[in-house]
Chain A
């Protein structure tokens, strides 16, 4: 089949989305399909840019451009799903978050309010018209249902290099890999270090806009002997950090999906997450495969102490997480089957 995959491109800002887009293209090709990837350049501001990109996307009729018939269209990102194709599948990675779950009525401008209205209408119309609708996670599906009144089937995909994760001896530290951004809330973990009653250490890996603030926070509380921001890491280092961790902390605010949870489960490590973290809650079962706690440093500290005080139990929870991952049947072949409407549920 000829399949057109469409997404957006934010030049030189690479994250999980790149892996996701490339992953789905590769998986489709490996199943013997011809795949073309269409990426629309995206700018977050000014508002007029987003308006014009929405308008442009709507003009794209991809049924048979230049007389060459395309069998399927699969769209992953806003506003690429505005294009037209009679057999259009959307797999919503996430919506334009600034207009949805990150919207804050306070201090908004008239332009922003107008944009929000337009985005909602655009999504409701085009996502509603798709022949098949999937969401990156249950969390994303919930938002779609709440804001646009549309149902979508959650469709999970595996993290990069899923087969490489391993579990080694626990070296008594909590690992937290993420970009250093406010939404990822590493500050909760740093603050938690102040309330620890056990000698557990905290390793925060990754880089980002909040690095200086987080480093200052560590120094302000004199936590240098406990908390370390280790910065960027290689692939091998990532695997080693996971493999020897006591537990993994991943407590972002309302995450869409979150590879970290899955990577921790693949490494057989229990996950400490928060009640409002979104995506991770679909996988972490409190007291079974990790701890779901209030987004409060004391509660997080308590979970870390519990992991430290019964390390055998923590390891057992990690293994339970690994088994849960295996049971969930997360893999590219299933993704392809669902996207192309070939396989049944399960």
Chain B
């Protein structure tokens, strides 16, 4: 498409605008598929041209055109020698002469004509073997009337020569045509390949871009998929809370209002856990860290109580390992969630549930991420009651965020609106020991990935990494010491 501008100022302005636009959005439109054009040109069959390959230096074999019919021979001879198309008279005349005298004679006669001489000189065209070809003509011409007698034998001689040379001229013409075709094709192929090369590298770059975009989209999609269950479950619990409220015919009392608020909050918290706590597979992998504690508890029995059981991942794991686990949670949404999965879970306060448990009846008491929600009196009571309820050699596990990691203590701990204050490994260890647990150890889990750490291994870097990227959770684990142990210990002490 071409465009014309009425005035030069608008032309200049338009061009500057285009330049600016290209500068801001380089390569916004891909170039056309130029190779197809070249390919089309190549595939188009070309008829053998009238013009000589080199118009200024025609080859002798091109002029004789031994592989073509008389008509084409004449048309080319006229074009090359006189620079014009074959006319009707010339055509009729020479088509009659050719069978008797042959092509060499016709060429010689044409070359001797004034028109060809002028035309060749004007255009600067050189005809090979011109002198030799026209020599007999010129000699016979000089002889005047006598020459006329010599014409028929001369014609015969030309014809014989033409017959004699024909195989060789045919071959030469064929070679010439093939050569020029090969050259043209080679150039064409090279052009197409060059265009294709450009096209390929352009498309390669586009593919790379597309792949990068695809990755981004996939990432965003998986994020949304992760959020989706949380949204669905939040929606469902909202609906259930609404149904409960609508079910009562009497106007809502303040107590009902409070209940609704609690239910709404429970639904929120379940959604929060779903969205923030990581996938079930991740949690399961983490819980398997406690295999040594599970094995140890198994020796003390098979009853286990999980305080604040949440979505029930731990209960599921214990059931798989042959325990008869029970859970307790205050959050009605969590309780329903667990019950739907066939787990035995009570909707109750953890201290109430513990107090109702008989003495020495449990092999394992666990509290994952509960302690940090409790006022200290409740925490103290929980540990004390757990010791009472555990059988000898029973195991207590209390897991909580680890404030040794500064980012946990100052930041991530506060993601959860129901957290009170971080607990330290030292304080928890002391609490368990004070309340009579033995073999009290602290276990630390979930450090930041290596990639998050500051590179380097000097003391300062290690310290920075320890404080900022160290384990995000810790557990304090204790064993209810059996009276037998106490007796043995006492005996050993006595013996010492």
- Contact of A326 with B194 at beta-carbon distance under 8 Å, contacts A169-B2, A172-B2, A201-B11 already known: yes
Closest to B22 in A: A236
Does B452 belong to the interface (CB within 8 Å)?
no
In angstroms, Cα B2 to Cα A319, docked, is 16
- Contact of A239 with B1 at beta-carbon distance under 8 Å, contacts A173-B11, A326-B191, A326-B194 already known: no
Closest to A322 in B: B34
Find chain B residues with CB under 8 A from A224 CB: 8
In angstroms, Cα B22 to Cα A244, docked, is 13
Find chain A residues with CB under 8 A from B45 CB: none
In angstroms, Cα B5 to Cα A36, docked, is 51
> Are B194 and A311 in contact, CB atoms less than 8 angstroms apart?
no
Q: Which of A168, A172, A234 contacts B5 (CB 8 A)?
A: A172
> Are A228 and B12 in contact, CB atoms less than 8 angstroms apart?
yes
Does B492 belong to the interface (CB within 8 Å)?
no
Q: Which of A167, A201, A244, A319 contacts B18 (CB 8 A)?
A: A244
Give min CB distance, B22 to chain A, whole Å.
5
Q: Interface size on B (CB < 8 Å)? A: 24
Find chain B residues with CB under 8 A from A239 CB: 19, 22
Find chain B residues with CB under 8 A from A69 CB: none
Does A249 belong to the interface (CB within 8 Å)?
no
Find chain A residues with CB under 8 A from B320 CB: none
Closest to A246 in B: B2
Find chain B residues with CB under 8 A from A326 CB: 190-191, 194
> Are B8 and A201 in contact, CB atoms less than 8 angstroms apart?
yes
In angstroms, Cα B186 to Cα A323, docked, is 13
Closest to A326 in B: B194
> Are A230 and B191 in contact, CB atoms less than 8 angstroms apart?
no
Find chain A residues with CB under 8 A from B11 CB: 171, 173, 201, 203
Q: Which of A169, A201, A236, A327 contacts B187 (CB 8 A)?
A: A327
Find chain B residues with CB under 8 A from A172 CB: 2-5
- Contact of A169 with B1 at beta-carbon distance under 8 Å, contacts A203-B12, A326-B191 already known: yes
> Are A170 and B19 in contact, CB atoms less than 8 angstroms apart?
no
Q: Interface size on A (CB < 8 Å)? A: 30
What per-residue 1/0 map shows which CB atoms of B165-199 lie under 8 Å from chain A?
Answer: 00000000000000000000001001100100000
In angstroms, Cα B316 to Cα A108, docked, is 105
Find chain B residues with CB under 8 A from A311 CB: 2
Give min CB distance, A330 to chain B, whole Å.
12
Does B31 belong to the interface (CB within 8 Å)?
yes
What per-residue 1/0 map shows which CB atoms of A221-236 lie under 8 Å from chain B?
Answer: 0001110101000101
Give min CB distance, B67 to chain A, whole Å.
28
In angstroms, Cα B21 to Cα A236, docked, is 9
> Are B19 and A171 in contact, CB atoms less than 8 angstroms apart?
no
Find chain B residues with CB under 8 A from A149 CB: none
Does A214 belong to the interface (CB within 8 Å)?
no
Does A199 belong to the interface (CB within 8 Å)?
yes
> Are A244 and B4 in contact, CB atoms less than 8 angstroms apart?
no
Interface residues of B in 1-53 (CB under 8 A from A): 1-5, 7-8, 11-12, 14-16, 18-20, 22-23, 31, 34, 38
Closest to A168 in B: B18
Closest to A225 in B: B8
Find chain A residues with CB under 8 A from B18 CB: 168, 240, 243-244
In angstroms, Cα B22 to Cα A95, docked, is 39
> Are A169 and B23 in contact, CB atoms less than 8 angstroms apart?
no
In angstroms, Cα B31 to Cα A170, docked, is 15
Give min CB distance, B27 to chain A, whole Å.
9
- Contact of A166 with B2 at beta-carbon distance under 8 Å, contacts A203-B12, A228-B8, A230-B12 already known: no
In angstroms, Cα B3 to Cα A146, docked, is 47
Give min CB distance, B411 to chain A, whole Å.
47
Find chain A residues with CB under 8 A from B187 CB: 327
Give min CB distance, B387 to chain A, whole Å.
74
Does A106 belong to the interface (CB within 8 Å)?
no
Find chain B residues with CB under 8 A from A169 CB: 1-3
Does A241 belong to the interface (CB within 8 Å)?
yes
In angstroms, Cα B15 to Cα A239, docked, is 10
Give min CB distance, B276 to chain A, whole Å.
49
Does A105 belong to the interface (CB within 8 Å)?
no
Q: Which of B5, B8, B16 contacts A237 (CB 8 A)?
A: B16
Give min CB distance, A309 to chain B, whole Å.
12
Interface residues of A in 303-320 (CB under 8 A from B): 311, 319
Q: Which of A171, A203, A241, A323 contacts B4 (CB 8 A)?
A: A171
Find chain A residues with CB under 8 A from B4 CB: 171-172, 199
What per-residue 1/0 map shows which CB atoms of A208-226 lie under 8 Å from chain B?
Answer: 0000000000000000111
What per-residue 1/0 map shows which CB atoms of A150-181 lie under 8 Å from chain B?
Answer: 00000000000000001111111100000000
Q: Which of B7, B15, B23 contacts A244 (CB 8 A)?
A: B15
Closest to A240 in B: B19
- Contact of A236 with B20 at beta-carbon distance under 8 Å, contacts A171-B3, A201-B5, A228-B12 already known: yes
Give min CB distance, A250 to chain B, whole Å.
19
Q: Which of A173, A199, A203, A323 contacts B191 (CB 8 A)?
A: A323
Closest to B20 in A: A236
In angstroms, Cα B460 to Cα A303, docked, is 77
> Are B22 and A170 in contact, CB atoms less than 8 angstroms apart?
no
> Are A236 and B19 in contact, CB atoms less than 8 angstroms apart?
yes
In angstroms, Cα B241 to Cα A94, docked, is 90
Give min CB distance, B470 to chain A, whole Å.
46
In angstroms, Cα B1 to Cα A244, docked, is 11
Given contacts A243-B18, A244-B18, A327-B187, 4 further A-B contacts (CB under 8 A): A226-B8, A237-B16, A240-B16, A323-B191
Q: List, sorted by A's number, 15 A–B pairs whose CB atoms are closer than 8 Å.
A: A167-B31, A169-B2, A170-B3, A172-B5, A199-B4, A203-B11, A225-B7, A225-B8, A226-B8, A228-B8, A228-B12, A230-B12, A237-B15, A237-B16, A244-B15
The 5 closest A-B pairs by CB, nearest first: A240-B19, A236-B23, A237-B19, A236-B19, A172-B4
